[in-house]
Amino acid sequence: MGKIKWIEIGEGLACRTTSGDVGRLLKVIVTPRMGERRGEDTEVVSTVLVSAGPGECPFERRHQFTKDMAAENSFRVISYNILAELYADTDHARTYLFPTCPPYAVDMDYRKQLLIKEILGYNGDLICLQEVDEKVFHRDLIPALKSEGLEGFYAAKGGQVTEGAAVFFRQSKLRILETTRIVLSKELQSNILFAGIWERVQTNPDMAEKMSQRSTTLQVCVLESVENPLRVIVVGVTHLYFHPDADHIRLLQAGICIQILKQVMTLYQTKYPDKDVALIFCGDFNSTPEFEVYRLMTSQFVDFDDIDWSKKESEHVTGISLSHDLELESACGCPPYTNYTTGFYGCLDYIFYQTDKFTVKQVIPMPTHEEVTEHIALPSITFPSDHIPLIADLEFKVT
């Protein structure tokens, strides 16, 4: 075998290969530095050849609407469940959950390349992610997004799972004031705000046990506008319990979330009376618009006799009603679906915003049904997740 001839194709934290690189090896040379001190070069050669990508992906057609950054006094919000590796990288997932996706395209080493390319192409200012593998956050998302001026914070889900939520924000537009991770089951049992609800839940031991076992979290980030520091945004990100037979659990979790977020808003408004405090609440709510989670968010009230409370008789609890006084709407409306698999499709993801604080300036169109179903279901060789990200530009209202 002759000597390998190496061609330099770039430098920095990211390397963009071209079709001309297919079939070649890739060598990475790393030079450690600390101030003026320089260490010895270390190099690694890939064990596999550069392979061809999937061609143009539907998200690249969505990028046509996000070439420009959001305008002044506005910011672009993205909410995206990126499908954690621990839920995709199993025989069960490959055989039953995502049988139409080739094994190589389910692999996170393949999907994360598309995910980073997709996310960066949207030019988002506030990026709210769910099902983020902890190692993907630190090894891939942080380096890639930081190089584009985005800072990120991770909030692990409760329990033993190694995934959670992440919030990234563009530092030229937003500044972090506080970030908090809240495990909803612990909050329900310890926060005096929910003492009455927890008392009612405990009247049914099955319901109390089910709620106590849930690892659902709420990530709260408080951000202020760099352009106008008098504007403060309380950002909530969650991923509610997934089980199909758990509308009552999700409803209670959503009620806990909105009360915590309202409490944070009140604290900041009291501490800084000259500031204008607004809410953005994003995530995978695992609930379609016809159920009570959506109704609670948009109509402010769910009574104790609403049907979602009693759908599972063994866990039925009486006397719980939920309410809030925030004027919330879904920035992207209710698409036919945000999740599309062989076993289910429906609208599960939302960007809830305060209509008295923001105006929706642009909603990025969803992929066409033909694009989504080109390879039957999601994920696929061109869609790196089983969810489709929601993207909207919000403008601060003049107060």
pLDDT digits (tens, 9 = 90+) for 81-101: 999 999 998 899 999 999 999
Separation of alpha carbons 307 and 363, rounded Å: 32
Residue pair 330/351 in contact (Cβ under 8 Å)? The answer is yes
Average per-residue pLDDT for the chain: 94
Q: What mean pLDDT do residues 365-381 have? A: 98
Q: List the CATH code of the domain at 58-396.
A: 3.60.10.10
In degrees, rounded to 5, the angle at the alpha carbon of residue 265 between the alpha carbons of residues 261 and 266 is: 115
If we measure between CA atoms, which residue out of 301, 306, 304 comes closest to residue 324?
A: 301
Is the pLDDT score of 20 beyond 90? no
Supply the pLDDT for residue 2: 66
Is the pLDDT score of 16 beyond 80? no
Supply the pLDDT for residue 317: 92
Supply the pLDDT for residue 209: 97
If we measure between CA atoms, which residue out of 58, 64, 40 comes closest to residue 122?
A: 64
Residue pair 302/311 in contact (Cβ under 8 Å)? The answer is no
Range name among 30-34, 63-67, 181-185, 307-311 with the lowest pLDDT average: 30-34
Tokens standing for residue 229: 């520091």
Q: What mean pLDDT do residues 63-83 have? A: 98
Q: What mean pLDDT do residues 211-225 have? A: 97
CA distances from 351 to 65, 160, 175, 328 (A): 18, 28, 20, 10
Instruction: Point out the catalytic residue in the list 284, 306, 308, 393.
Output: 284
Q: What is the pLDDT of residues 98-118, one digit of tens each?
A: 999 999 999 999 999 999 999
If we measure between CA atoms, which residue out of 391, 280, 393 comes closest to residue 338?
A: 391
Tokens standing for residue 40: 């010895």
356 classed as catalytic: no
Which pTM value belongs to this model? 0.95
Tokens standing for residue 159: 């329990």
Residues in the chain, overall count: 399
What letter represents residue 57's amino acid?
A: C
CB burial of 266-281 (b: ≥16 within 10 Å; e: otherwise) equals eebeeeeeebbbbbbb
Supply the pLDDT for residue 3: 79
The percentage of residues in the chain with a pLDDT greater than 70, rounded to a whole number, is 99
Separation of alpha carbons 157 and 152, rounded Å: 16
The percentage of residues in the chain with a pLDDT greater than 90, rounded to a whole number, is 82
How do the domains of the chain map onto residue ranges?
A: 1-51, 58-396
Tokens standing for residue 85: 């590796």
Residue pair 349/386 in contact (Cβ under 8 Å)? The answer is no
Residues sharing a CB contact under 8 Å with residue 36, sequence separation 6 or more, in sequence order: none
**Better-scored residue on pLDDT, 263 or 306:** 263
